């Protein structure tokens, strides 16, 4: 059970991983729509620049440097939100990273660091968020991936963490529903998104990593996240192409497995790697929403837009059907005369 969510301009929204990519795009969009935004990231320097940009534009925000892999840091984010704005209405767990490389080649230290952020960061963020959201209700939004449903080679531990986030999110939702807590729990599942994630990744490959097409803009994910902040929803896929992959993986898993060589090839460019260390153990100083994907980036995802507004989509489809039927009847009548 959950209460009706507030409009975005009346909300306090916490966003982790807010210094780049999806998190930064979501923070800017939320602030532009009137929300009070709490920015969290390991990168204090980039957060400071984002904070200035938002406040200079008339928005309200605070910045809290935090490593989400540490529960004390996550609690500090919640405490700062309550101190500055009186509470939290939506908490977005988004901070994450990836590793490109075969599972057998990646070091234990790199695997452990990835799990600490991608899984434990979500566990800490969710549990801290629930403790705050219980007071007045709201939304918990976890940013997963199509990798929450399917796996792909060269990012094996990333897929493992996203699978784990899905299981954790589903179990937490069940427990909150049993409690009658006024909190909605949503899992957002993006496909390939044009963010700096590949450039920030730890890279064991002898090529620069890339995103398999189709690739979508981060604004589509931000729209899905903020939709979940105001409309209780269980799951939202971002990108019809990614959704097609998950359906194939569920319907024909053996066939999907045989696509692995092609999937591996699509994740590698031809040029040599630039920064193999990435931002796994040390945060990057850039504050950018977009990555450097060299190929075409879709302008929008019609599948995602339809998922967010099913009634409008159905009504439009019915309207088009009735129009087509009327035209056919009219054409048929003319042919008889």
- Kind of pairing, strands 192-193 and 215-216? parallel
Sheet of strand 138-143: strand arrangement: 60-65, 36-41, 12-16, 90-93, 138-143, 183-190, 235-238
Residues 6+ apart with CB under 8 A from 252: none
Taking the C-alpha atoms of residue 255 and residue 111, their distance in angstroms, rounded to an integer, is 28
Give how far the C-alpha of residue 248 lies from the chain's centroid of Cα atoms, to the nearest Å.
Answer: 21
Catalytic residue among 158, 216, 256, 303: 158
Give me the helices (H) in the chain, please: 21-32, 44-56, 71-85, 108-115, 121-133, 156-179, 197-200, 218-230, 240-251, 253-257, 260-266, 302-308, 310-336
CA atoms within 13 A on the CB side of 124: 23
- CA nearest neighbour of 231 among 295, 186, 177, 182: 186
Q: Is 100 a catalytic residue?
A: no
The full DSSP string for 234-247 is: SEEEE-HHHHHHHH
Taking the C-alpha atoms of residue 166 and residue 144, their distance in angstroms, rounded to an integer, is 7
Taking the C-alpha atoms of residue 65 and residue 41, their distance in angstroms, rounded to an integer, is 5
Please, are residues 63 and 287 in contact by the beta-carbon 8 Å criterion? no
What CA–CA distances, in Å, run from 99 to 18, 115, 172, 250?
20, 11, 27, 25
Please, are residues 143 and 193 in contact by the beta-carbon 8 Å criterion? no
Residues annotated catalytic, as ranges: 158
């Amino acid at each position: 059970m959950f209460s009706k969510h507030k409009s975005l301009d009346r909300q306090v929204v916490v966003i982790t991983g807010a210094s780049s990519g999806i998190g930064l795009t979501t923070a800017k969009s939320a602030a532009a729509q009137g929300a009070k935004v709490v920015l969290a990231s390991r990168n204090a320097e980039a957060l400071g620049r984002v904070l200035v940009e938002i406040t200079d534009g008339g928005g309200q925000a605070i910045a809290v440097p935090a490593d989400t892999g540490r529960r004390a840091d996550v609690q500090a984010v919640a405490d700062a939100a309550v101190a500055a704005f009186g509470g939290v209405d939506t908490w977005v767990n988004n901070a994450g990273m990836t590793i490109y490389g075969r599972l057998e080649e990646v070091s234990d230290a790199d695997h452990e660091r990835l799990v600490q952020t991608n899984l434990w960061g979500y566990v800490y963020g969710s549990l801290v968020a629930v403790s705050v959201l219980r007071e007045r209700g709201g939304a918990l939004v976890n940013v997963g991936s199509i990798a929450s449903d399917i796996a792909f080679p060269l990012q094996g531990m990333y897929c493992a963490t996203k699978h784990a986030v899905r299981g954790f999110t589903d179990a937490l939702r069940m427990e909150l529903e049993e409690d009658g807590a006024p909190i909605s729990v949503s899992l957002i599942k993006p496909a390939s998104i044009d963010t700096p994630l590949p450039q920030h990744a730890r890279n064991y490959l002898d090529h620069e990593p890339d995103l398999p097409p189709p690739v979508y803009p981060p604004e589509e994910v931000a729209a899905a996240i903020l939709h979940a902040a105001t409309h209780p929803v269980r799951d939202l896929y971002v990108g019809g192409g990614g959704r097609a992959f998950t359906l194939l993986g569920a319907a024909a898993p053996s066939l999907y497995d045989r696509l692995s060589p092609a999937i591996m090839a699509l994740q590698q460019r031809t040029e040599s790697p630039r920064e193999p260390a990435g931002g796994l153990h040390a945060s990057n100083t850039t504050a950018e929403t977009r990555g450097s994907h060299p190929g075409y980036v879709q302008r929008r995802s019609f599948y995602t837009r339809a998922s967010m507004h099913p009634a409008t989509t159905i009504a439009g489809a019915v309207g088009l059907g009735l129009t087509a039927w009327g035209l056919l009847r009219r054409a048929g009548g003319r042919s008889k005369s």
